[in-house]
Structures are given as C-alpha cells and as structure tokens.
C-alpha cells in the first residue's frame, strides 16, 4: 500500500493548477442516466472516485469514451469524457459497487425518473458519520415513488412516472438536493424544493441539466423550482473548479510560507474559508488567473471556525484548517456542525506534537511552536490532507499511510506540491 513521505520546512513557491471538483463531477456523471443522448463533461479530474463511478454507470449500460490528448495539454490533469446511456440495461446498483463510494447511491433518482424503477444498495464511503439516506427516500416519496428498504437495498418504483410536488428538506443536504433535482427534471408537473442546498456543486449540476433541456430556476438559493419535461437531450458542460482543493492548498501556503498562484481557482466559491485564511495572517489576492496566496514566514494567528452549509465555512476544509491552527500563536476553537464523527484526524495530528482537546463537536487547538515528523495514518479523505499540511511544516520526516483516501479526491497532490518546492514523494511498499 502506497504512502507519502514528506520532509518538512520548505516554503511553497510557484503555480498549482486547480482541478475540476470531485463533488461536482460525480453528480454530473450520474446525470448522464437521464438522457439517451451523449453528455460530454469537460475538466473531469483523474480520481479513484471518478473511475469507480464509471464502473457503476457501466453496470447500468452507460458507454463512455475519453477525448485524446491535445497539443499543449498535460495528460496528467483533467480530461473530457463522453457518457452515453442509450439503453439502461440494469436498474440495480449492487452492494459490491455502491459500498465503495457513497455518492454512487445517487443513481437512484435518475434511474427512477427515467425507467420507473431502481434497486440500489445502501451506500458506503468515508467513515465520518452515519449520513443516513432518509432525506433521499422521503423526498422521492413526495414525488410519487413507492419505496421500501429490504436486505440492505432501497427498492423504488414509480410505475406511472414521478409527479411534481413540494418537498421541504428537514435539514440542508447536498446529496439529497442533487438527487431530487435530477429526478424532478423528468416528472409530470412542477417540483418545489425548499431548504435546498446552495453549494456551487448544486449550481453546476443545475446549469448542466438546463443545458440538457431541463427547466430549473432558483438554483443557488434555498428554493429550487423544476418544471418537468418529457425528455432531456445531450449537452457539453465543464466541471467547476474544486473549491476544497483550492482551500487546501491555500492553507498549505499559509502553513509553510511562500507565494503560490492557485491557477483557475474561483474566489466566490469559498469566500468564508478565504477570509479565515486571511485572518490567520496570509495574503489572499484575487487575480485574473486565479487566487494568489502569500505568507512571509510570520507567525500564524489563532482563528475560531464553525462549519456551516454554503456560503459558510465548509466541513470539507475543517480538518485542513485544524492542521493550520496547530502552529498558531494561541488557542483556537473549531466547531463541527455538519458531521458527528469528523475529528478522527485529531489523534494523528497529536502524533506530530499538536495539542488538541475535544469536547463533543468542538475542538480546542493550542498552537505549538514546533511540529515533529512521525508516521501517521489517514482516516478519511479530508483528514489525509490535514496530515499533509502538518507534515509540510513539521521538522524531519512525516510518512502518511493509507493514502488511497487522497487518491479518491485529490488529483496528483504530491506532484503539485513538489512542483512548488515541497520535498514530498509517493513511496510504494
């Protein structure tokens, strides 16, 4: 099993290209199930989760092809993929596929909308909380689906087709918003989703569906209106820049010092996180080509953070920000409000010398002057990047094990950091 070895203490200087967002690419790929025409997605990142979802879609009968390399294009970053679901040959998403990635459960909406039935295994994914599928089931029920859960599978049918309806999410859910919005595009009548997620990835999906012929308004607000249509067509659409990758590398620069242009990054996708990085003492400057982050090696200020749904501070950057705060000059408090089990990185950061105490959903971080390298174990995707950030600033060598978590959500992380001067390499056992 691969691991990443880091010798800390090197400032980051250069340019890091920001990839397409995993959290946007996955629902866009699933949207291909809604039409028998070809959906072409641009800027799709090279990630294990993308490859796993390709296998899942293939099980349903979706064909795909990848556009060849073009002049001046780095073959290691991004790609254009064409998806064609001309014939849905299987409406079952089996356990052995769905258990490896939670987002694959989202096929339940498009399958049900297009074929009138779906049998989808209950999902797997990172162990950062229970993340139940109750909202998915309840929402689809409001659109006329008959659903039962049996033997670890969600069995859904809508023999006369789904029907428009009004659904108020009891709590904001990005995944459930994705699923219900996709399902509602092919319903009879109008669907109103209230307390819907406002995340950029939801907006990116809505824009793609509109390009395919869907009638959607209100995306980016808490109320989304979808007027059902008889069918959708193919389209060409680009995956939005990854705001979580942007924030992660920005925090790495704030931690180590240096001057890095995050090429292609969009500041409006993560203003709350960028403001916290500024408060920590780094310069964050919006430029025509992206976002520049500079830090002159001065002390890191302690900053309190509470995770919130968009446009608040993202839960997917909480672990990385905690890594940054381990070297602050005082005490910071981090409150996690989205997932109930997202502090598993704490004990691994402690192995590097961090001082962190936990109380329920709050973590108090007492900054230390020095972190020291040690072997650590990644517990999930975002925790992995927190350990990378800490390792970049630690004295000596840090080895991060279980880096397959990183490969699920970060495109060539070690190559991007090495290109800016980090002493980092992937080591195969």
| DSSP states along 80-107 | -EEEE-S-----EE-HHHHTT-GGGGGG
- The helix/strand count (H/E) of the chain reads as 14, 24
Query: Which of the 8 DSSP states describes residue 31?
Result: G
Burial class (CB in 10 A: 0-12, 13-18, 19+), 312: middle
Query: Which structure tokens are listed for 197?
Result: 């997620």
Task: Describe the crossing of helices 271-279 and 243-256 by its angle, rounded to 10 degrees.
Answer: 10
199 contact partners, CB below 8 Å, separation of at least 6: 23, 174, 309, 310
208 flagged as catalytic: no
Dihedral sign computed on CA atoms, order 62, 91, 191, 104: negative
- Is 416 one of the annotated binding-site residues? no
- Is 140 one of the annotated binding-site residues? no
- Is 351 one of the annotated binding-site residues? no
Strands 190-194 and 3-7: unpaired
- Is 295 one of the annotated binding-site residues? no
- Is 174 one of the annotated binding-site residues? yes
- Is 27 one of the annotated binding-site residues? no
- Is 172 one of the annotated binding-site residues? yes
Is the peptide bond prior to 310 cis by the omega test (within 30 degrees of 0)? no
Nearest to 394 by CA among 423, 426, 419, 365: 423
- Is 338 one of the annotated binding-site residues? yes
Cα–Cα distance, 22 to 25 (Å, whole number) = 5
- Is 100 one of the annotated binding-site residues? no
- Is 50 one of the annotated binding-site residues? no
- 317-to-57, 198, 238, 397 alpha-carbon distances in Å: 29, 17, 23, 24
List the beta bridge partners of residue 93: 120
List the beta bridge partners of residue 121: 153
Backbone angles phi, psi at 125, to 5 degrees: 120, -165
Burial class (CB in 10 A: 0-12, 13-18, 19+), 9: middle
- Is 173 one of the annotated binding-site residues? yes
144: left (phi over 0), alpha (psi -120 to 50) or beta: left
- Is 102 one of the annotated binding-site residues? yes
Q: Token pair 């319903």 is at which residue?
A: 187
Cβ(225)–Cβ(240) under 8 Å?
no
In the set 24, 126, 241, 403, the catalytic residue is 126
Cβ(181)–Cβ(192) under 8 Å?
no
- Is 236 one of the annotated binding-site residues? no
Annotated binding site for UDP-N-acetyl-alpha-D-glucosamine: 102, 131-135, 171-174, 316, 338
Annotated binding site for phosphoenolpyruvate: 22-23
Annotated binding site: 22-23, 102, 131-135, 171-174, 316, 338
* Active-site residue set: 126
């Amino acid at each position: 099993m691969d691991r990443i070895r880091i010798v800390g203490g090197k400032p980051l200087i250069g340019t890091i290209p920001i990839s397409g967002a995993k959290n946007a690419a996955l629902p866009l790929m699933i949207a291909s199930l809604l039409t028998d025409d070809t959906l072409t997605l641009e800027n799709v990142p090279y990630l294990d989760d993308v490859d796993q979802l390709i296998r899942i879609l293939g099980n349903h009968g979706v064909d795909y092809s990848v556009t060849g390399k073009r002049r001046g294009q780095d073959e290691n970053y991004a790609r254009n993929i064409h998806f064609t679901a001309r014939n849905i040959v299987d409406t079952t998403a089996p356990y052995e596929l769905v258990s490896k990635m939670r987002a694959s459960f989202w096929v339940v909406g498009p399958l049900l909308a297009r074929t009138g039935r779906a049998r989808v295994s209950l999902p797997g994914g990172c162990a950062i909380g229970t993340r139940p599928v109750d909202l998915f089931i309840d929402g689809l029920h409001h659109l006329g689906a008959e659903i039962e859960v049996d033997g670890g599978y969600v069995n859904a049918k809508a023999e006369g087709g789904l029907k428009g309806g009004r659904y108020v999410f009891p709590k904001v859910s990005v995944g459930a918003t994705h699923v219900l919005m996709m399902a509602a595009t092919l319903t009879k009548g109008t669907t109103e989703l209230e307390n819907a997620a406002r995340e950029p990835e939801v907006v990116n999906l809505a824009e793609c569906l509109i390009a395919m012929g869907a009638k959607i308004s209100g995306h980016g607000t808490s109320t989304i209106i979808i007027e059902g249509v008889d069918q959708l067509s193919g389209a060409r659409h680009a995956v939005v820049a990854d705001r979580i990758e942007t924030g992660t590398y920005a925090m790495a620069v704030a931690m180590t010092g240096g001057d890095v242009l995050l090429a292609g990054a969009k500041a409006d996708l993560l203003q709350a996180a960028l403001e916290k990085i500024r408060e920590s003492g780094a310069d964050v400057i919006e430029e025509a080509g992206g976002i520049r982050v500079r830090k002159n090696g001065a002390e890191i200020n302690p900053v309190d953070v509470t995770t919130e749904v968009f446009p608040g501070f993202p839960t997917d950057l909480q672990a990385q920000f905690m890594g940054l705060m381990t070297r602050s000059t005082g005490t910071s408090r981090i409150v996690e409000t989205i997932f109930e089990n997202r502090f598993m990185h704490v004990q691994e950061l402690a192995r590097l010398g961090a001082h962190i105490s936990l109380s329920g959903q709050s973590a108090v971080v007492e900054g230390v002057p020095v972190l020291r390298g040690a072997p650590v174990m990644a517990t999930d995707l975002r925790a992995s990047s927190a350990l990378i950030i800490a390792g970049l600033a630690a004295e000596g060598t840090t080895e991060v094990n279980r880096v397959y978590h990183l490969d699920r959500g970060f495109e060539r992380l070690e190559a991007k950091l090495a290109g800016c001067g980090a002493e980092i390499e992937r080591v195969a056992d």
